[in-house]
Amino acid sequence: MSTTTPDSAPTDLILIRHGETAWNRELRFQGHADVPLNDIGHEQARRLGLRLAGETAQHLISSDLMRAQQTAAPAAQQLALQVVTSVALREQHFGVVEGMRADEIQSQHPRAWEEWLEFREDHAMPQGESAREFHARVIAALGTVAAAHRGQRLIVVTHGGVLDMVWRTARGLSLSGPRQSEIPNAGFNRIRIADPAAPDAIEIVEWADTRHLADLPPQPTYDQRRHLRKD
């Protein structure tokens, strides 16, 4: 006989990166800029809603930015859930370079770009947020969510950087260095947090599933590693 109670049960989270935006397609730094989905992004969100219709979830939480809320809307309709928004689940803040492509940052903020290429956890773009600060915000937010909904299954619609912080934490990786995991737009990811008091003890159950996006145009990919200088 099981002795699991709501207070001791793990919290399951289905983590979703928002659908595609025009700035994704143009490989621009988005950060806190409130950019809407493009047509492909809306189709990704529609298909994601159909995919999530087969899930049992008690709550749907989204970053408060438009691209995340628009991605969450079809799933909320399918599951008859209210979307609760969270500022803490926003993307990393990139300060003055938000809206710029890599070549524009290199031209207009050359020193900031050179420092960015070192991918140090304490570096931040001017007026932006460092990886260390960002990570602390993300993990605290997940801990709060897991504690409030212990023993339940939640859908969380957020951003690529947030998912990168989750991946690094779950795999015990440094916050320094370029991104190493696949994080597709509207991809399906499942994690488990056994103890909200230790939200950095994350178990990855499923990652970067895009079967529901089959036959859509290839996604734009911002690979941080391609910017690294060769010795």
Q: Is residue 142 part of a domain?
A: yes
Give 182's pLDDT tier (boundaries 50, 70, 90).
very high
* Report field, pTM of the whole predicted structure over 0.75: yes
User: What integer pLDDT is reported at residue 221 of this predicted model?
Assistant: 78
Residues at the annotated binding site for substrate?
17-24, 67
> Among the options 26, 55, 59, 91, which is catalytic?
91
With 60 as the cut, is the pLDDT of residue 32 above it? yes
Count of structural domains, the chain: 1
32 part of the active site: no
Q: Is residue 194 part of a domain?
A: yes
CA distances from 124 to 120, 149, 224 (A): 9, 33, 15
98 part of the active site: no
Residues at the annotated binding site?
17-24, 67
- Looking at this protein, which amino acid is placed at residue 205? V
Please report, for the domain that includes residue 164, its CATH number: 3.40.50.1240
Do the strands 202-209 and 153-158 form a parallel or antiparallel pair, or are they unpaired? unpaired
Q: Is residue 143 part of a domain?
A: yes
Q: Is residue 230 part of a domain?
A: no
Q: Is residue 94 part of a domain?
A: yes
Q: Is residue 180 part of a domain?
A: yes
Q: Is residue 102 part of a domain?
A: yes
Q: Is residue 36 part of a domain?
A: yes
